Chain A
Amino acid sequence: MTGERSRPPAVAVEIRGVNLSYGITRVLKDVHLDIRPGELFAFLGPSGCGKTTLLRLIAGFNVADSGEVLIDGRDIASLPPWKRDVGMVFQSYALWPHLTVRRNVAFGLEERRLPRAEIDRRVAAALDLVGLGHLAERRPSQLSGGQQQRVAVARTIAIEPKVLLLDEPLSNLDAKMRADVRRELRELQQRLGITSIFVTHDQEEANTISDRIAVINDGSVQQVGTPMELYQRPANLFVAGFLGTANIIDGRIVGSSPDRAFEIAPGIRLPIPAEAEAPPGAKLVFRPQAARIGAARPGQSSLPGTVLDREFLGPTVRYGVRVGDARLAVDVPFHAGEPLAEIGAETTVGLSPGTALWLTD
């Protein structure tokens, strides 16, 4: 944990075709994931999507109906939770109220029957790492939420697990602390180089600290990628909508390749580039900042509309524009002194077909 001691090399976690049902409810559907050694990986999705179930499956608290979980290439399905060497930080922290902070952190080491001196050293190191060395003799109920969270983390990393699991690690903290703590978590993870998976429903949290994200919805993995990949190339409408703001516009594809176009409303069409994929029934997807208000630039298409509202966001101004029956969000950089489009004004929205995507569910 400290610099002079070499940690074992980080390990990979592979999830292969996992299915899990509670009664007739299918909670996980054929989940495949490859989590690389040393990676900070996020399971992102709305509540009830199965992301916590998947995490608990890795920890051994849930048992899959089929499929396997490999850690460092070994199937751990037959191992009980206490033999998996997978550290988990619980959402409620689950600190034991009858033990002091020190005894909480020492617990896992004592279970491993380490010598007393070794335990003392590693408990002290873990507490120092989270900056709580001075509170070792307190009981959990005497700590603040942030401190409890750090104790929970210290308790888990003290056993030097092969994999670190964090269940909504920031959800019990106030907004101001969250940014600090998530940076600390990231730093800690980097320093330890430990393969880590955390569950969150907050895309900002996922984007800011994780190397890669698996977006999960309704028990299925929707897409896996770096935050940027997911943002730029969402694989489907769910991912597009869940990560950042996206315009998702109904319409229909008219014509045939190479002269296909997407008709938003009668007479309002956007050409579909020949190289673009546009499966039947797809919807038009683009980010607000990919469009502009006013005359189309070269290569852009013009979509006529009416300004419905505008929001001042600081660096940008977000307009709501009605085009046909659809409502588009368009972000325009804010430059002091430049005139703004008035609400109710007729305008055009300029959009490069190359920045648009056509996605299905």
Chain B
Amino acid sequence: MTLALGARRGAPATTRGQRALAVAIGLFLFAFLVLPTATVVFVAFTEKGTGQFTLVNFVDFFRTDLFVRSFWNSVYVSVMSVVWASALALPLAILTTRFAFRGAVLIQTLGFVPLVMPPFVGAVAMQLLFGRNGSVNLLLDDAFGFKIPFMEGLNGVIFVQSLHYFPFILVNLSASLRNIDRAMEEAAQNLGSSGFRLIRRIVVPLAMPGFVAGASLVFVKVFDDLATPLLLNVKEMLAPQAYLRVSSIGIADPMGYVISVVLIVVSVAAMWISALALKDRDYATVQRGGGGLARRSLTGWESALGYAVVIGILLLVLSPHIALFLLSIATIWSFSPLPDAYTLAHYNRVFAESSLYIKNTLVYASIAGLIDVVIGTAIAYLVLRTKLVGRQWLDWAAMAALAVPGVVLGIGYLRTFYGISLPDGTPLAALWITIVLALAIRRLPYALRACTAALQQISIALEEAAENLGATKARTVRRVVVPLMTGGLLAGFVTSFSTAAVELSATLMLVQSNSDAPLAYGLYVFMQSSNGRGPGAALGIIAVLLVTVCTLVSHWIVERRHEGAGNR
């Protein structure tokens, strides 16, 4: 007790516990992110032949037209994806949080599902729907004699990425909107503001922490994503360039790693800029520990319009999943708007062969999600509520995980942990917990952004009140901060959990035995042959359903809590 007091008096800004926490998280990030990544990307800084330190590879990067062009293409696609993703997310977020809208929970859940796009099969489903000879274009061609190049070139990438990643904005923005004190909105109405002007001038600016959290995630994720450009056969972007090089057989080319370093730097820079945008602004709008926006009822035609908008957006963003479902019950689907015939055989095959994958996925993704929320909350707290030197670096380091290609992380894990043997001789990297750690690291950024936004909106006065009443910092966090953050924490968990459930690249590298394999591995195995397409789609649908159910339950909990606290 005296010790604790002494520490407080000696260093008023930080406590021992906080410093210990910071060190622990720093070590965790170092061991499971920085070190494994460094063991792989250090090649980028070495001179060919001599192995000495050099920056010449980076000079090469900027001298190569292809890379410079790829860089700007990536920037353009990322920015435009943020714009379009916002356009999709904003109406859904506002309609479901601001109005008494029947089915708000369902809409929020469905709006989240696009994030859960199983690898491989998702791509096939997209092509079957929007591809050059996909259903939409075949029908258009038939009826009007023209086609729309949805999935071609950079605009195609923007199209697919906006649909895929807009939930990041939806989830974070909704959490922010729920946290706005209703008096903020009422004051504006009282002064004569309403409708779109009210949303534009008050609601949206106040929801900035959530929006920025979501938008920065979309930007970085699109910037670092390689699956979609490769699916659309767009190679002149940075992430695909890195991937193509890192995963080419037998080429000892440092450029793949140079690009990885560039990706990491840009991602961290984007996060830094987004943090700057919110700096010096007080967004603590939860002053009385609850409240939230008043939900206005809609009149008949308003409600009809609202549903039209919502259903339109949902149909668009869920169309890949609809196609995926059709694929999972299709016998043959080739060059036709709809499958030739339908069958349930694929599901039978999946249940017979793959239930183990499903169980593993649930276990891995939930543990990874929990780790993410715990670490995310801790980092957010250290960054926003303490004056520890270098605390911001924890945030940036964790966010850099977004930019580390899964392949690089996978190789790094093998390199770092395979040499460490357990007493019985099996390597540490062969244990399934390694997969969980890799998943947790890969998805930590999602949870971290959600936790940060949630904490940003809690007035520090609420914590001071608890401390004033004799609670220690640690107990304040547990008893006051965490309960108030529940919405944001759940948003973070759900995002981490559901995207971890369909993560592929790192897991493919780390899976050591079939009995430890997650669902994404099962998908990969199916999608290696023509007759695995249907079962692959079925497994994909099962993954989507699993995630949807988990999301629905979490939303339901948040809504119930919100309604309990919000009525007066």
Contacts and interface: CB of A to CB of B under 8 A. Distances in A.
B183 A112 contact: no
B194 interface: yes
Contact of A107 (B181, B188, B288, B294): B188
Contacts of B192: 82-83, 85, 108, 111-112, 159
Contacts of A91: 183
Interface stretch (A92-100, A194-202, A217-225, A305-313): A92-100
A61 to B, nearest CB: 5
Contact of B190 (A88, A96, A140): A88
Contacts of A67: none
A92 B189 contact: no
Contact of B282 (A83, A84, A97, A159): A97
Nearest to A110: B201
B190 A82 contact: yes
Interface in A119-156: 139-141, 155-156
Nearest to B202: A96
A96 B206 contact: yes
Given A61-B294, A97-B285, A82 B205 contact: no
B189 A22 contact: no
Given A87-B191, A111-B192, A92 B288 contact: yes
Interface in A225-267: none
B183 A92 contact: yes
Contact of B191 (A80, A108, A141): A108
B187 to A, nearest CB: 4
A155 B189 contact: no
A90 interface: yes
Contacts of A22: 567
Nearest to B187: A94
Interface string B154-187: 0000000000000000000000000001011011
Nearest to A106: B191
B281 interface: yes
Given A61-B294, A111-B197, A97 B190 contact: no
Contacts of B294: 61
Contacts of A49: none
Given A59-B190, A82-B193, A87-B190, A98 B206 contact: yes
Interface string A64-107: 00000000000000001111111110111011111100000001
Given A92-B181, A94-B181, A98-B205, A81 B190 contact: yes
Contact of B208 (A83, A98, A108): A98
Interface in B377-431: none
Most buried by A among B187, B197, B208, B283: B187
B262 interface: no
Contacts of A80: 189, 194
A60 interface: yes
B391 to A, nearest CB: 21
Contacts of A83: 192
B189 A141 contact: no
B201 A97 contact: no
A197 B181 CA distance: 23
A334 B184 CA distance: 51
Contacts of B198: 82
Given A81-B186, A139-B282, A92 B193 contact: no
Given A98-B206, A107-B201, A90 B284 contact: no
Interface in A6-34: 22
B186 A61 contact: yes
Interface string B186-227: 111111111001100110011010000000000000000000
- Chain A interface bracket (under 10, 10 to 19, 20 to 34, 35 or more): 20 to 34
Contact of A90 (B187, B208, B285): B187
B190 A86 contact: yes
A96 B186 contact: no
A97 B181 contact: no
Nearest to A53: B568
B206 A90 contact: no
Nearest to A103: B201
A159 B191 contact: yes
Interface string A208-219: 000000000000
Contacts of A112: 192
Nearest to B197: A111
Given A82-B193, A111-B191, A141 B282 contact: yes
A82 B189 contact: yes
B287 interface: yes
Contacts of B183: 90-92, 94
A98 B281 contact: yes
Contacts of B191: 82, 87, 107-108, 111, 155-156, 159
A165 B284 CA distance: 25
Contacts of B208: 98
Nearest to B204: A98
Nearest to A59: B190
Most buried by B among A88, A98, A108, A155: A98
A83 B189 CA distance: 8
Given A22-B567, A98-B205, A88 B187 contact: yes
A111 B187 CA distance: 12
Contacts of A81: 186, 189-190, 194
Nearest to B291: A92
Contacts of B188: 96, 107, 111
Nearest to B189: A81
Nearest to B287: A92
Contacts of B283: 97-98
B206 A97 contact: yes
A264 B486 CA distance: 59
Contacts of B205: 96, 98-99
A83 B198 CA distance: 13
Most buried by A among B189, B191, B194, B202: B191
Nearest to B284: A97
B305 to A, nearest CB: 17
A156 B188 CA distance: 10
B194 A82 contact: yes
Contacts of B189: 60-61, 80-82
A112 B282 CA distance: 27
Interface in A267-315: none
A108 B188 CA distance: 7
Contacts of B181: 92, 94
Nearest to A155: B191
Contacts of B190: 59-60, 81-82, 84, 86-88, 156
A91 B208 CA distance: 24
A185 B189 CA distance: 23
B73 to A, nearest CB: 34
A321 B190 CA distance: 52
Contacts of A61: 186, 189, 294
6 contacts: A81-B186, A82-B192, A94-B186, A96-B187, A97-B283, A98-B206
Instruction: In the A-B complex, list the 10 residue pairs whose CB atoms are closest, starting with the nearest.
Output: A108-B191, A94-B183, A141-B282, A94-B187, A81-B189, A111-B192, A82-B194, A98-B205, A97-B282, A88-B190
Interface of B: 181, 183-184, 186-194, 197-198, 201-202, 205-206, 208, 281-285, 287-288, 294, 567
Given A98-B283, A156-B191, 20 more contacts: A61-B186, A80-B194, A81-B186, A82-B190, A82-B194, A82-B198, A84-B190, A85-B192, A88-B186, A92-B287, A94-B183, A98-B205, A98-B208, A107-B191, A107-B201, A111-B193, A111-B197, A112-B192, A155-B187, A155-B191
